[in-house]
């Protein structure tokens, strides 16, 4: 037995195995033969794997190959020439292995292919191969522990609820424990269609350094040490007018002032405003004032900023502004205003959001 895992088929005698060890001139072949010798001698799978420096998963794979086809299956041709390709079954097995241990560095996948599938791909070709398998290649985002597993489904329900405003007995933003009457301001008209957009607060700074630049000597910039102490509040509209404001802080009264400016720039239409769960966003004061302005608040699920398309807008804005030099806060805010207008003309930041969460409602946006 091999530990408690598998019965080892003895395709060779111990003397034949010893002879092959003395003749081996390939390190991969030698390592596998040593592994077999250890198992022949009574070592467990874990012990033999540890001695030759491989994982138990790799060791188990080696035993399975050995049992199926002996030395020919365990030590395929490691010579030069084009490496063998994985068949469909092996590709599915690889994907499952990668799913179990994800995420992976490219070098780790190269090692996995080498050790467990006896396949070597040129480092320049490996990304193409992995792309063909459908793998994602991106900087992993930290998943917040309070984010629900069904965040997308929760958002879908909230968007659908917001679009069906006529089917509800009370204002969209109102909760059961909000007892007084809520009315829309008499001068607010919302029957001219629907504007949908995304709201968020960010803190861009003139000294943000997110863009690489060329230089002959050590790269550095000499610029005035301008610091902006107040946040930027952005509304990225899919339909209607996008708005950038600079409130002095994030208190509920200042957030509502941002909402008032959004209403001014988007008159005559109902506004669906998607935003996060910051305390000044979800409080009764803000929800009531939004209702008075004809703005329905669609809150993202907890811990789900990745579902707000304005996040990549902020990232692009900081990247675009980082190499530019400004003399003061007013010039920097003017620069951000221009960049925000340019960036929010693009729907590409919200393309996947539209596909995933607005299917069936596009006819209501005009």
What CA–CA distances, in Å, run from 200 to 245, 268, 299? 11, 23, 11
Give the residue from 172, 196, 195, 176 showing the smallest Cα distance to 184: 172
Give residue 303's region: left, alpha or beta (phi > 0; psi -120 to 50): left
- Residue 156 and residue 251 in one domain: yes
pLDDT band for position 184 (cuts 50, 70, 90):
confident
Q: State the DSSP code for 196.
A: E
Separation of alpha carbons 112 and 123, rounded Å? 13
- Residue 157 and residue 128 in one domain: no
> Edge-to-edge strands of the sheet including 295-299?
243-245, 232-237, 194-202, 270-275, 295-299
How large is the average pLDDT for residues 197-216?
76
How large is the average pLDDT for residues 48-66?
83
4 is a domain residue: no
- Residue 253 and residue 316 in one domain: yes
Residue 223: predicted pLDDT = 60
193 is a domain residue: yes
- Residue 189 and residue 106 in one domain: no
- Residue 173 and residue 30 in one domain: no
More confident residue, 104 or 146: 104
Asked if pLDDT for residue 279 goes beyond 90, the answer is yes
Separation of alpha carbons 343 and 122, rounded Å? 39
Considering its fold, how many domains does the chain have in total?
2
How large is the average pLDDT for residues 235-256?
95
Give residue 189's region: left, alpha or beta (phi > 0; psi -120 to 50): beta
More confident residue, 339 or 113: 339
The total number of residues written for the chain in this structure: 366
DSSP string, 322-357: TT---SSHHHHHHHHHHHHHHHTT-SGGGHHHHHHH
Backbone angles phi, psi at 236, to 5 degrees: -100, 105
Average pLDDT value over all residues in the chain:
83
Give the residue from 269, 272, 197, 273 showing the smallest Cα distance to 239: 197
Crossing angle between the packed helical segments 106-117 and 56-74, to the nearest 10 degrees: 50
What CA–CA distances, in Å, run from 267 to 193, 260, 273? 10, 10, 14
141 is a domain residue: no
Separation of alpha carbons 19 and 55, rounded Å? 26
pLDDT band for position 286 (cuts 50, 70, 90):
very high
Residue 243 pairs in a beta bridge with 235
Residue 213: predicted pLDDT = 57
CA atoms in the 13 A half-sphere facing the CB of 157: 6
Asked if pLDDT for residue 80 goes beyond 60, the answer is no
- Three-state helix/strand/coil letters over 45-74: HHHHHHHHCCCHHHHHHHHHHHHHHHHHHH
Asked if pLDDT for residue 81 goes beyond 50, the answer is no
User: Which domain CATH number covers 342?
Assistant: 3.30.420.10
Structure tokens at 101: 């241990």
More confident residue, 39 or 164: 39
Do 206 and 318 form a contact (C-beta atoms < 8 A)?
no
- Residue 121 and residue 171 in one domain: no
How large is the average pLDDT for residues 199-204?
94
How large is the average pLDDT for residues 73-85?
58
At residue 183, the 3 state secondary structure works out as coil
- Residue 239 and residue 201 in one domain: yes
What is the value of pTM for the model shown? 0.62
Asked if pLDDT for residue 1 goes beyond 50, the answer is no
Backbone angles phi, psi at 295, to 5 degrees: -115, 120
46 is a domain residue: yes
Asked if pLDDT for residue 226 goes beyond 60, the answer is yes
294 is a domain residue: yes
- Residue 115 and residue 184 in one domain: no
Residue 128: predicted pLDDT = 84
Backbone angles phi, psi at 239, to 5 degrees: -130, 145
Do 277 and 299 form a contact (C-beta atoms < 8 A)?
yes
| pLDDT tens, position by position, 36-51 | 889 888 888 888 888 8
pLDDT band for position 4 (cuts 50, 70, 90):
very low
Asked if pLDDT for residue 32 goes beyond 80, the answer is yes
Separation of alpha carbons 235 and 243, rounded Å? 5
pLDDT band for position 168 (cuts 50, 70, 90):
low
- Residue 163 and residue 236 in one domain: yes
Separation of alpha carbons 113 and 121, rounded Å? 8
Structural domain containing residue 243? 151-211+223-364
More confident residue, 257 or 106: 257
């Amino acid at each position: 037995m091999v530990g408690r895992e598998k019965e080892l088929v003895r395709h060779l005698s111990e003397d034949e195995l010893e002879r092959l060890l003395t003749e081996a001139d390939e390190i991969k072949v030698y390592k596998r033969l040593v592994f077999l010798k250890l198992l022949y001698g009574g070592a467990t799978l874990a012990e033999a794997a540890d001695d030759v420096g491989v994982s138990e998963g790799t060791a188990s794979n080696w035993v399975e190959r050995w049992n199926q086809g002996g030395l020919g299956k365990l030590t395929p041709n490691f010579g030069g020439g084009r490496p063998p390709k994985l068949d469909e079954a092996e590709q599915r097995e690889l994907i499952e292995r990668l799913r179990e241990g994800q995420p992976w560095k490219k070098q780790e996948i190269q090692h996995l292919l080498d050790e467990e599938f006896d396949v070597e791909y040129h480092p320049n070709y490996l990304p193409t191969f992995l792309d063909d398998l459908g793998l994602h290649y991106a900087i992993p985002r930290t998943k917040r522990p309070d984010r629900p597993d069904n965040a997308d489904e929760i958002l879908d329900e909230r968007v659908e609820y917001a679009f069906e405003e006529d089917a509800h007995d009370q204002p969209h933003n109102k909760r059961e424990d909000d007892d007084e009457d809520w009315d829309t301001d008499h001068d607010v008209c919302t029957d001219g269609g629907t504007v949908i957009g995304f709201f968020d607060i960010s803190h861009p700074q003139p000294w943000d350094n997110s863009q690489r630049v060329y230089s002959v000597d050590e790269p550095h910039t000499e610029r005035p040490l301008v610091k902006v102490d107040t946040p930027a509040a952005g509304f990225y509209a899919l339909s209607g007018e996008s708005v950038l404001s600079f409130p002095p802080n994030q208190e509920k009264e200042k957030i509502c002032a941002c909402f008032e400016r959004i209403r001014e720039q988007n008159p005559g239409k109902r506004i669906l405003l998607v935003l996060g769960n910051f305390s000044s966003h979800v409080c009764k004061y803000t929800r009531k004032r939004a209702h008075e302005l004809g703005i329905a608040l669609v809150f993202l699920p907890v811990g789900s900023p990745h579902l707000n398309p304005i996040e990549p807008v902020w990232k692009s804005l900081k990247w675009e502004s980082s190499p530019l030099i400004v003399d003061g806060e007013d010039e920097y805010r003017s620069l951000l205003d221009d960049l925000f207008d340019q960036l929010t003309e693009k729907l590409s930041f919200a393309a996947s959001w539209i596909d995933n969460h607005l299917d069936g409602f596009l006819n209501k946006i005009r």
